[in-house]
């Protein structure tokens, strides 16, 4: 026994040493890649500026005149607008579907300093829409992947990497040195944090979102004014004083997204940023509005006029309760304010089984797949029945057992064959719990006599426990 314990201790020590060595090698690799990238960028810069330095009284180099000439001859930009872009410092929070096209066009336009905030790594599922990233960069930090492409596109701007997820304690220090903020994130808690910090530091904000085939765009806190100044532009809290219910939030992973849709919104963010940066103060800011894009509607764009600052806004009104100190200290809990968005167990353990346990059950059973039809068509269990969760939730719950009162979406075979259990499955094990609860409210469990359970973890767990070849979409 003592020999086995010594061997275990020795193996643990060896594993720890190996992991430390691996971490060291990863750090050295990252440093080497960054050095290579800096050298390559410098070589490109030297090549494009060689012989084209600023001459005499010309404010731009010859190469810059060539590079930006087609936008400088646009009346709304001109030479003065180009010089404003060169002097501007823009921060993009999120290097995903919105941030990638926004960064591309701002870098291409010649924004002098471009900062990117993101703590995620590139995944293959990102590549259909996050156009700065490449297949070779899967597993690499998104910020590093994005800056690698941007430096090749335009070596003139200064690029700053913030390799972190934005948190309240760090947001003010990150935002402070920038002139304009772009919110390219995808969750309410971060959106409120970005808006609050931008308002408290006097930064205009371009905010966008996209899901499935629709997108939204707003320019907020423009012009930026102190709290209580009614001439300032509204903030995110002015438009959305209360966050949406946490259980109503759908991510791109759950709801899906068309690449050109989120790309359109990111490009529009870059356009609005250029307009803000190159505008003349005497002209004033455009009236606040919400731009709504719907790819399958006609017309595709609609604009809704927004009200000015709310007199009782918690951030930008005279009675503001959110302060910079509160944000920095963490006393403003954005996750609590927006509610938890993580999956919850709404069923008891007895009402849930694992995919492995399901494999051992009898063949005489009913399987209901509550994913939407478009997902069911991608892959499904043999002999399963597709009843989308949206259809289930659209019907009113009844607690009687009179079959004639049951909703039309329930197949007669499931209603009549009450001796066989019902297993409910979805993609990740969340909607299936809701469906089990609704089926029981409809009386399908015959007051507990009939088994109705869900597959815990859904098809994500099915792939891990049963079938590793199950499509991961």
Rounded to whole angstroms, the Cα distance separating 103 from 109 reads 10
Rounded to 10 deg, the angle between the 2-49 and 142-153 helix axes is 20
Residues 6+ away with beta carbon under 8 Å from 158: 112, 113, 114
- Between β-strands 289-294 and 422-425, what pairing exists: parallel, antiparallel or unpaired? unpaired
Cβ atoms of 97 and 130 within 8 Å: the answer is yes
Cβ atoms of 155 and 38 within 8 Å: the answer is no
Would you call 83 helix, strand, or coil by DSSP?
A: helix
Tell the burial category of 436 from Cβ atoms under 10 Å away from its Cβ (0-12, 13-18, 19+).
buried
Establish whether 313 is an annotated binding residue. Answer: yes
At CA 148, angle to CA 264 and CA 139, rounded to 5?
A: 85
Establish whether 316 is an annotated binding residue. Answer: yes
SS (H, E, C) 395-443: CCCCCCCCHHHCCCCCCHHHHHCCCCCEEEECCCCCHHHHHHHHHHHCC
- Between β-strands 289-294 and 89-93, what pairing exists: parallel, antiparallel or unpaired? unpaired
Rounded to whole angstroms, the Cα distance separating 293 from 214 reads 5
Establish whether 467 is an annotated binding residue. Answer: no
Nearest to 105 by CA among 269, 258, 220: 269
Count CB atoms within 10 A of the CB of residue 92. Answer: 30
Nearest to 374 by CA among 385, 391, 356, 388: 388
Rounded to whole angstroms, the Cα distance separating 52 from 156 reads 13
Establish whether 338 is an annotated binding residue. Answer: no
Establish whether 440 is an annotated binding residue. Answer: no
Establish whether 399 is an annotated binding residue. Answer: no
Establish whether 186 is an annotated binding residue. Answer: yes
Is 426 a residue of the active site?
yes
Cβ atoms of 366 and 383 within 8 Å: the answer is no
Longest dimension (CA), the chain: 91
Element (H, E) at 281: none
Q: How far is CA 391 from CA 140, 387, 403, in A?
A: 40, 7, 18
Rounded to whole angstroms, the Cα distance separating 429 from 254 reads 12
Establish whether 242 is an annotated binding residue. Answer: no
Establish whether 373 is an annotated binding residue. Answer: no
Establish whether 221 is an annotated binding residue. Answer: no
Establish whether 129 is an annotated binding residue. Answer: yes
| Residue of 100, 184, 338, 426 marked active site | 426
| Residue of 100, 184, 252, 379 marked active site | 252
Residues 6+ away with beta carbon under 8 Å from 409: 387, 391, 392, 395
Establish whether 173 is an annotated binding residue. Answer: no
Is 252 a residue of the active site?
yes
Rounded to whole angstroms, the Cα distance separating 97 from 82 reads 26
Residues 6+ away with beta carbon under 8 Å from 410: 387, 442, 444
Which residue numbers are catalytic?
252, 426
Q: Which residues are annotated as a binding site for Zn(2+)?
A: 235, 238, 313, 316
**Residues tagged in the binding site annotation for ATP:** 97, 118, 125-129, 142, 186-187
Which residue positions form the known binding site?
A: 97, 118, 125-129, 142, 186-187, 235, 238, 313, 316
């Amino acid at each position: 026994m003592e020999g086995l314990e010594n061997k275990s201790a020795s193996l643990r020590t060896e594993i720890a040493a190996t992991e430390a060595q691996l971490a060291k090698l990863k750090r050295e690799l990252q440093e080497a890649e960054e050095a290579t990238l800096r050298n390559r960028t410098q070589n490109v810069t030297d090549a494009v500026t060689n012989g084209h330095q600023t001459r005499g009284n010309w404010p731009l180099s010859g190469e810059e005149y060539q590079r930006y000439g087609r936008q400088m001859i646009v009346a709304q930009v001109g030479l003065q607008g180009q010089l404003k872009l060169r002097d501007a410092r823009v921060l993009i929070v999120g290097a995903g579907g919105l941030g990638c096209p926004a960064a591309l066009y701002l870098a291409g336009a010649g924004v002098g300093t471009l900062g990117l905030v993101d703590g995620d790594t590139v995944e293959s599922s990102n590549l259909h829409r996050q156009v700065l990233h490449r297949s070779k960069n899967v597993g690499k930090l998104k910020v590093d992947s994005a800056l690698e492409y941007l430096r090749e596109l335009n070596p003139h701007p200064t690029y700053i990497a913030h390799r972190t997820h934005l948190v309240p304690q760090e947001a003010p220090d990150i935002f402070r040195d920038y002139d304009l903020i772009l919110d390219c994130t995808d969750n309410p808690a971060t959106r409120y944090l970005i808006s609050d910090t931008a308002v408290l530091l006097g930064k205009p904000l371009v905010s966008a979102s996209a899901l499935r085939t629709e997108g939204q765009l707003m320019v907020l806190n423009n012009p930026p004014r102190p709290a209580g100044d009614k001439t300032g532009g509204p903030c995110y809290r002015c438009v959305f004083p209360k966050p949406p219910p946490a259980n109503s939030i759908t991510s791109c992973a759950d709801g899906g997204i068309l690449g050109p849709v989120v790309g359109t919104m990111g490009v529009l963010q870059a356009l609005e940023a250029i307009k803000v940066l190159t505008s003349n103060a005497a002209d004033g800011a455009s009236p606040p509005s919400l731009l709504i894009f719907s790819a399958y509607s006609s017309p595709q764009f609609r604009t809704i006029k927004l009200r000015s600052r709310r007199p009782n806004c918690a951030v930008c009104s005279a009675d503001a309760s959110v302060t910079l100190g509160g944000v920095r200290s963490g006393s403003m809990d954005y996750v609590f304010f927006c509610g938890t968005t993580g999956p919850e167990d709404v069923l008891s353990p007895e009402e849930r089984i694992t995919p492995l346990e399901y494999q051992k059950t009898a063949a005489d059973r009913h399987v209901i797949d509550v994913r939407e039809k478009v997902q069911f068509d991608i892959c499904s269990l043999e002999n399963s029945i597709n009843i989308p969760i949206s259809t289930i939730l659209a019907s009113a719950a009844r607690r009687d057992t009179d079959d004639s009162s049951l909703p039309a979406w329930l197949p007669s075979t499931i209603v009549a064959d009450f001796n066989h259990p019902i297993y409910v499955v979805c993609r990740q094990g969340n909607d299936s719990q809701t469906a089990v609860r609704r089926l029981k409210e409809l009386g399908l469990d015959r007051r507990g006599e009939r088994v109705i359970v869900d597959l815990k973890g859904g098809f994500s767990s099915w792939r891990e426990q049963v079938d590793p070849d199950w499509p991961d979409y």
